[in-house]
């Protein structure tokens, strides 16, 4: 038992032991909680607040919110374990809530997956415009709620979510899973900070070793964390390429970093990066962030996630690309483009920080 799969099984075992001991029940069987066949799955749109309200509702001794996606391989691999957990303990006080991070036009595909897995517990499709700090662009991720003091034996204090807590407090307890270990989502560097780890050598798709320092522009520098497989990246990649190619000719140094561990995401290996750079026509470096070291230094947690520095090397913009990931022709707020234009003109961007929306970085195990 190792990695993400091992953590899920340990979580399931801990919940099982705790609930079985409290209810006086023996070991669970691999069947529906009430001996019935699984009900037809449902999938409703919901914000983080609505999902958390479901988890807090009376009647459950424990609640587990699982954020997943059909494009997330670790999520797919662990799903049968979650189904077994619900079948065994759904009638013993466990409330299991699923939140899909898929796009809304993938609703039928998500329902088909749930149906195939026999998932009969509450399932939601997250509101992609919901900017609350919880349940945004994190998959796989979990939030566990235990309202009784005696149930702390398998949950640490930091992971406990009391029913009387506020939504923001609840949101702060949502952790991302990276490389099979639970850790709090990284905190990004603050506005005005200097470029971290700018002397770290990284392999570019042309085989040469580069540093962020070596690609700095006279007017500013754009560092963007990206990858090959993430659907958010794929939806934005043409816009990112256009911006990078255009502003790299206007005195802005541009470099894209792939921080994902290829052992966790096969599409993110070096050969895949080379092919992707060629296909997109990148005119700026696309480098390997070996061991996710630079991403950790920046406090990056998503792909894509942009960090723009001015001519002095100070952070003046951090966040997302624009306000419509799916439909480029319906974008109203071009956050990154406007910030790049301001920096190229020697000015400070009007909007300096937005919520980064994307896939969780697949950090290398440490």
Q: What is the pLDDT of residues 259-296, one digit of tens each?
A: 999 888 788 999 999 999 999 999 999 999 999 999 99
* Band of pLDDT at residue 244, cut at 50, 70 and 90: very high
Cα 93 to its chain centre, rounded Å, is 29
Determine the average pLDDT of the residues in 133-146.
47
User: Domains in the chain, please, with CATH?
Assistant: 3-182 (3.40.30.10), 202-360 (3.40.30.10)
Q: State mean pLDDT over 339-365.
A: 92
pLDDT at residue 362, as a whole number = 87
Q: Is the full-model pTM beyond 0.75?
A: no
pLDDT digits over 109-135, tens only? 888 888 888 887 778 887 766 555 444
| Cα distance between the two ends of the chain | 16
**Between 117 and 77, the higher pLDDT residue:** 117
Question: How many whole angstroms separate alpha carbon 153 and alpha carbon 150?
Answer: 7
- Higher-pLDDT residue of 136 and 79 is 79
Q: Report the C-alpha gap between 324 and 278 in whole angstroms.
A: 25
> Mind giving me the DSSP string for 260-288?
--TTT-GGGSHHHHHHHHHHHT--S-EEE
Residue 334 binned pLDDT confidence (cut-offs 50, 70, 90): very high
Give me the chain's average pLDDT, please. Answer: 77
For residue 141, the model assigns a pLDDT of 52
Count of Cβ atoms closer than 10 Å to residue 235 Cβ = 18
Q: What is the pLDDT at residue 289? A: 96
**Per-residue pLDDT for 67 more than 90?**
no
């Amino acid at each position: 038992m190792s990695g993400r799969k091992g953590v899920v099984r340990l979580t399931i075992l801990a919940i099982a032991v705790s609930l079985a001991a409290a209810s006086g029940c023996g070991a669970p069987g691999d069947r529906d909680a009430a001996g019935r066949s699984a009900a037809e799955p449902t999938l409703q749109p919901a914000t983080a607040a609505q999902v958390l309200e479901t988890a807090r509702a009376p009647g459950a001794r424990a609640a587990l919110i699982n954020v997943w996606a059909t494009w997330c391989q670790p999520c797919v691999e662990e799903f049968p374990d979650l189904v077994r957990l619900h079948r065994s303990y759904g009638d013993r006080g466990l409330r299991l809530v699923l939140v899909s991070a898929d796009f809304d036009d993938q609703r039928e595909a998500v329902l088909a997956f749930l149906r195939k897995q026999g998932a009969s517990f509450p399932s939601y499709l997250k509101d992609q415009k919901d900017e609350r700090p919880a349940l945004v662009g994190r998959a796989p991720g979990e939030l566990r709620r235990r309202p009784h003091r005696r149930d702390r034996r398998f949950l640490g204090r930091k992971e406990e979510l009391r029913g009387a807590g506020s939504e923001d407090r609840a949101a702060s307890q949502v952790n991302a899973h990276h490389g099979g270990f639970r850790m709090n989502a990284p905190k990004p560097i603050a506005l005005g900070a200097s470029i971290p780890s700018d002397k770290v050598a990284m392999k570019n798709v042309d085989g040469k070793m580069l540093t962020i320092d070596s690609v700095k522009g006279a007017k500013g520098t754009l560092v963007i964390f990206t990858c090959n497989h993430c659907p958010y990246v794929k939806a934005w990649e043409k816009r990112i390429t256009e911006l990078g190619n255009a502003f790299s000719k206007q005195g802005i140094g541009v470099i894209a970093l792939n921080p994902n561990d290829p052992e966790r995401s096969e599409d993110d290996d070096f050969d895949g990066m080379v092919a992707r750079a060629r296909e997109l026509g990148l005119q700026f470096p696309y480098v390997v962030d070996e061991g996710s070291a630079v991403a950790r230094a920046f406090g990056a947690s998503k792909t894509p996630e942009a960090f723009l520095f001015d001519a002095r090397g100070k952070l003046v913009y951090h966040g997302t690309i624009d306000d419509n990931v799916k439909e480029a022709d319906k974008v109203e707020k071009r956050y990154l483009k406007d910030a790049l234009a301001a920096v190229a003109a020697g000015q400070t961007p009007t909007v300096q920080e937005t919520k980064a929306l994307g896939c969780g970085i697949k950090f290398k195990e440490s």
